[in-house]
Amino acid sequence: MAEEKKPWWYSTFDAFDTFLRVPGTVTAKGAHVRDGIDLKRVMIMVVIALVPAALFGMYNVGLQTSTLYGLDWNFWHMFWYGLLRMLPLFVVSYIVGLAIEFASSQIRGEEVNEGYLVTGFLIPLIVPVDVPLWMLALAVAFSVIFVKEVFGGTGMNIWNPALVARAFLFFSYPSSMSGSSVWVSKTWVPALKDVDAISAATPLAIAHDGAFDAATGAVGQYSFMDMFWGFIPGSTGETSVVAILLGAILLVWTGVASWKIMVSSIAGGLLVGWLGQLAGATALPCYYQIVMGGFLFGSVFMATDPVTAAQTETGKWIYGFLVGALAVVVRLWNPGYMEGMMLAILLMNTMAPLIDHCVVSVHTSRRAKKAINA
Amino acid sequence: MSNNLDLKKGLNIPIKGAAAPEVIKTVSPDIIAVKPTDFKGLVPRLLVKEGDTVKAGSPVMADKNRPEILLTSPVSGSVQQIVRGEKRKLLAVIIKADAEQSYVDFGAKAPGNAAEAKDLLLRSGLWGSLVQRPYGVTANPDLMPKAIFVSSFSTAPLAADTDFALGNSLADIQAGVDALAKIAPVHFSIRKDVVSSTPFHKVENAVIHVVSGPHPAGNVGVQISHIAPIRKGETVWTVSLLHLAAIGHVVNTGKLDLTRKVAVTGPAAPKTGYVTALPGTPVQSLTAVPDGARVIGGDVLTGEILGADGYLGFFENQLTLLKEGTEREWFGWAKPFRPKVHSSSWCYFSWLTPGKKYDMDTNLHGGPRAFVQTKCFEDVTPMDIFPIYLIKACLAGNIEKMEQFGIYEVLPEDLALCDYVDPSKNEIQAIIQKGIDLMIKEMA
């Protein structure tokens, strides 16, 4: 039976249609009954897991602005400012990304994959809040086209598209992505229109310059608890350990992300942080590496992307450990660049197939030996 | 001697419609179909023409390449019709059954050696019940297998309870084991949770394995992969308990009797229970079929669609009836709770109601996607292989990788649960079968 020719708008129609209603497709071969799970459900779980970090991040955007510029805002003022400030980032991220995703699916004649639901939510959370929207749009377009679609769409990509979008911005527009004046939003506050930007370094940068008070445990003006709860400048989603852990619990509970990667990544970070302290590369106790910067956000939400991470269970331990270890190595032994998580994950994304290859090779040769002995 | 095999990975699919252990009907049908399509790797050559009379046990077809392999009639009667499909492919021989059955006498005598045992199996038409691994094809009489494996139970969804269906046939089963043991060592597995009550723990002259675990623990292929993994160049045979009893029956009585208790199961079955019938019996005489229901010969994971006008297959002792799941649920994937849909994933809440049985239908519950999550395959595959690597090797058609990743050890049925759990809705069994077909073609 010749397959029915689908109209050119099929992918877009199908995406909206199946978004609203479960498709009426029945099994044609193989198992006659199927599990209720599909990728839409899997992906929405990740988005839900990101919600605590996103909500806290919005509040923190307002909090940082209010504190730094002495604006005396109340809680809701802070939250609404953050929400409104973040909204355009989400809108741009989703519109640009989904438009490319839909167009690519139609060119390929496939159904639209749900992967971008997560990517589009992640990207605004890992960039400075005041990043110009045209830059964001450019980064999203670059990442979706060259990191995902040219490889064949979600499931085929080698690198995490959200991180590549961030890396694209980082290397193309460093002045908007790093330094000490990009982390606190002021562009949308009318009262601050003519006020010069005040520098507000992240704890990571402060610690990098050596301003760690061993007696109080504070990094510059930020105490350990500030960093733990997330009342510090940084990318919107990454600051609060508590909010990220809430998401991590959901991801591990539902089995959507691998706890092995999370645990081994943190173990790797702790180990190298401890060695660095012993070697005198830093005065910081090793657990500070976990609560500062994007380490935990990366370990929980980025390194665990099932497509770009290692796929064997043994490989996940190795992959996660190296992500965490490398991230802290970059932090401690790199004179210029103080956040290593992004590049550590991207590097390990590249290496993941090699790790899997080694794990599988060891397994196959063990099987072959067993056959000879049997 | 017995060995323990405790398997942890796997999944029992909680589907409604199990058959209670009672015989609700005995069918002696007017017509019986002999279907060569039941036998993999067999090219049928017709030995009868319309109008010929046959006895139960008379040859109806032979294999073109190995003419000693015969398919015999399970009933006595006359050949009513030869059914052919596209390109005149032989689909079935329909035999009109006599009221009084007469049998070919194969001689009630236990075979004294391997040659006699093979000869008896070939003549009686029971050779077709021997499945050769790797690849799951009809056994080659020229080969000597390393071992012969029998699983005395099935863990497949709603599968027939062998203790009930074959518990009375212990003498035949023992005779079958004795006959096969002339050819190669017989490995016989029994369920751990019924080890003291099952009649089959009395089987002798075989290596007994006591197996526990969720589906697919009852799959003979999974058991083999733990007991004696198949490597390149090795062959093992498997035979179902049902056919083992039939082999023993020929040894004990000289008659071919394929009568079996068929479990009629599934959420759409008007009445579940066991029906005593022969293979080739029309579905219509086994059960009433509600409008639009899908009739599956076998279980929901591996069975084939028979259709309401189909015939029970040679290997089947189960029918499953399912509703077609064409209904479209609003916001299905977005609802926090979907009490009518089972999911083994903790993204839904089926884990809250572990004992619940679901009224399942044939809906795919999603659209096809690229592989994203792959650990789910490992969680339901209790074998020493990496399912996703084997699947990808099959997709790529890479013979060397398929060998390395264990293509000799698996049949699609062993990875059937991967079909079920995959959120990307890939057809894993079809992919594995394609890999096996390629292996057969390239390694011939």
Domain residue extents for chain B: 4-12+110-253, 28-97, 260-334, 364-443
> What single string gives the DSSP state of each residue in A148-166?
IGGGTSTTT-SS-HHHHHH
**Buried (b) or exposed (e) across A225-257, using 16+ Cβ within 10 A?**
ebbbbbbbbbbbbbbbbebbbbbbebbbebbbb
pLDDT exceeds cutoff 50 at A59: yes
CB A293 within 8 A of CB A341: yes
User: Which among B228, B320, B365 has the least Cβ separation from residue A34?
Assistant: B365
Task: Please give, rounded to a whole number of angstroms, the shortest distance from the CA of A29 to a CA of chain B.
Answer: 7
> What single string gives the DSSP state of each residue in B36-54?
GGGSTT--EEE---TT-EE
Cα A74 from chain centroid?
29
Choose, out of A1, A33, A105, A118, the residue to mutate when testing the contact with B (most B CBs < 10 Å).
Answer: A33
Residues 6 or more apart in contact with residue B154 via CB below 8 angstroms: B160, B162, B218, B219, B299
Chain B segment 325-354 residues within 8 A of A by beta carbon are 325-334, 338, 341-348, 350
**Which of A5-9, A325-329, B103-107, B411-415 has the weakest average pLDDT?**
A5-9
For residue B140, give the DSSP letter: P
* pLDDT 10s digits, B171-223: 999 999 999 999 999 999 999 998 888 999 999 999 999 999 999 999 999 99
Q: To 10 degrees, what angle do helices A341-373 and A313-332 make?
A: 150
Reply yes or no: is the peptide bond before residue B67 cis, omega within 30 of 0.
no
With beta carbons under 8 A apart, name residues in chain B contacting A33.
13, 15, 157, 300-301, 322, 360-362, 420
B21 interfaces chain A, CB cutoff of 8 Å: no
B8, B102, B113, B430 from B193: Cα distances, Å: 14, 41, 35, 33
Residues A62-86: what's their mean pLDDT?
A: 93
Choose, out of A12, A37, A110, the residue to mutate when testing the contact with B (most B CBs < 10 Å).
Answer: A37
Determine the Cα–Cα distance for residues A309 and A302; give it in Å rounded to an integer: 9
Count interface pairs A-B at CB distance under 8 A. Answer: 195
For residue A51, give the DSSP letter: H
Cα A91 from chain centroid?
18
B164 interfaces chain A, CB cutoff of 8 Å: no
With beta carbons under 8 A apart, name residues in chain A contacting B363.
22, 24-27, 34
Structure tokens at B317: 């002792």
CB A298 within 8 A of CB A274: no
pLDDT exceeds cutoff 90 at A78: yes
Task: Please give, rounded to a whole number of angstroms, the shortest distance from the CA of B257 to a CA of chain A.
Answer: 31
Q: Where does the pLDDT of residue A374 fall: very low under 50, low under 70, confident under 90, or very high at 90 and above?
A: low
With beta carbons under 8 A apart, name residues in chain B contacting A47.
none
Percent of chain A residues topping a pLDDT of 70:
97
Which residue of chain A comes nearest to B230, CA vs CA?
A371
Q: What is the mean pLDDT of chain B?
A: 94
Specify the pLDDT at position B241. Answer: 96
CATH architecture of B260-334: Roll (3.10)
B421–A37 CB contact, under 8 Å? yes
Strand order of the sheet with strand B318-322?
B23-26, B273-277, B260-265, B318-322, B294-297, B304-305
Which residue of chain B comes nearest to A304, CA vs CA?
B373
* CATH, range B28-97: 2.40.50.100
Q: What is the identity of the amino acid at B245?
A: A
pTM summary value: 0.92
Give B325 or A320, the one with higher predicted confidence.
A320
Q: Where does the pLDDT of residue B301 fall: very low under 50, low under 70, confident under 90, or very high at 90 and above?
A: very high
Determine the Cα–Cα distance for residues A25 and A27; give it in Å rounded to an integer: 7
Q: Where does the pLDDT of residue A329 fall: very low under 50, low under 70, confident under 90, or very high at 90 and above?
A: very high
Residue in this structure with the two tokens 């012993």, named with its chain if needed: A278
Residues A310-316: what's their mean pLDDT?
A: 95
Residue in this structure with the two tokens 């670059």, named with its chain if needed: A142
The dihedrals phi and psi of B132, each to the nearest 5 degrees, come to: -100, 135
Which residue of chain A comes nearest to B429, CA vs CA?
A30
**β pairing state of B90-97 and B70-72:** unpaired
For B152, half-sphere exposure in the C-beta direction (CA atoms, 13 angstrom radius) is 34
Within 10 angstroms of residue B357's Cβ, the number of other Cβ atoms is 15
Determine the Cα–Cα distance for residues B31 and A225; give it in Å rounded to an integer: 81
Residue B33, strand partner residues: B94
CATH architecture of B4-12+110-253: 3-Layer(aba) Sandwich (3.40)
User: Which among A37, A154, A254 has the least Cβ separation from residue B370?
Assistant: A154
Strand order of the sheet with strand B77-84?
B31-34, B90-97, B77-84, B53-54
Percent of chain B residues topping a pLDDT of 70:
100
Q: Which among A211, A12, A180 is positioned nearest to A99, based on CA atoms?
A: A12
